[in-house]
Amino acid sequence: MNTDTVAIVSIALLGILLFLLGANVTRHRAIRGDTGNQMPTDPADRMFIAQRAHGNAAEYVPTLIVLILVCASLSDGWWVQALAVAAVVSRSLHALGMLTSKTLASHGPVRDIGALGTYVTGVALGVTAIVAVA
């Protein structure tokens, strides 16, 4: 696969992840109905967990998408493909770690690996973009 294909597929998967996490929030709202607490704050509440998983993805996915686009347009290096795939894996692991948590009051290894991977990937994409235009 060429860099453009990997970038496009990675971007598509990140978008799908974000929309699936949003649909999960909608599912929880429907289950609660009009009389249920739609804005919970209990870190063990399944709806709160769904909302935070979606919210966290919404905080990082757009920037990762832009960085992947920029890097793929500036460089055809193999590392751009690797970083695009790493972004998808990291965000997916983070979401999985959150959604399978009993509570967000504590961290688990899957969630933490996903978070660390997101930070490393985002910084590496940013550096790649800077180096590519320098």
Structure-model confidence comparison of residues 120 and 3, the more confident one: 120
On average, the pLDDT of the chain sits at 95
**Which helix H or strand E contains 129, and what residues bound it?**
helix 109-133
pTM reported for the whole predicted model: 0.94
- Domain ranges in the chain are 3-133
Find the distance separating the first CA and the last CA of the chain, reported in whole Å.
Answer: 27
Cα–Cα distance, 117 to 93 (Å, whole number) = 9
What's the mean pLDDT in 54-82? 96
What are the b/e assignments for 102-126, b being 16+ CB within 10 Å? Answer: eebeeeeebbeebbebbeebbebbe
Whether 109 shows a pLDDT value over 90: the answer reads: yes
Query: Are residues 98 and 23 in contact, defined by beta-carbon separation less than 8 angstroms?
Result: no
CA nearest 95: which of 62, 118, 69? 118
pLDDT at 3: 64
Q: How confident is the model at residue 37 (pLDDT cuts 50, 70, 90)?
A: confident
Q: How confident is the model at residue 1 (pLDDT cuts 50, 70, 90)?
A: low
pLDDT in tens, 73-94: 999 899 999 999 999 999 999 9
What's the mean pLDDT in 22-43? 89
Cα–Cα distance, 30 to 33 (Å, whole number) = 5
Cα–Cα distance, 1 to 11 (Å, whole number) = 15
Q: Which CATH architecture does the domain made up of 3-133 adopt?
A: Up-down Bundle (1.20)
pLDDT at 34: 74
Compute the radius of gyration of the chain from its Cα atoms: 16
Cα–Cα distance, 133 to 21 (Å, whole number) = 35
Whether 36 shows a pLDDT value over 80: the answer reads: no
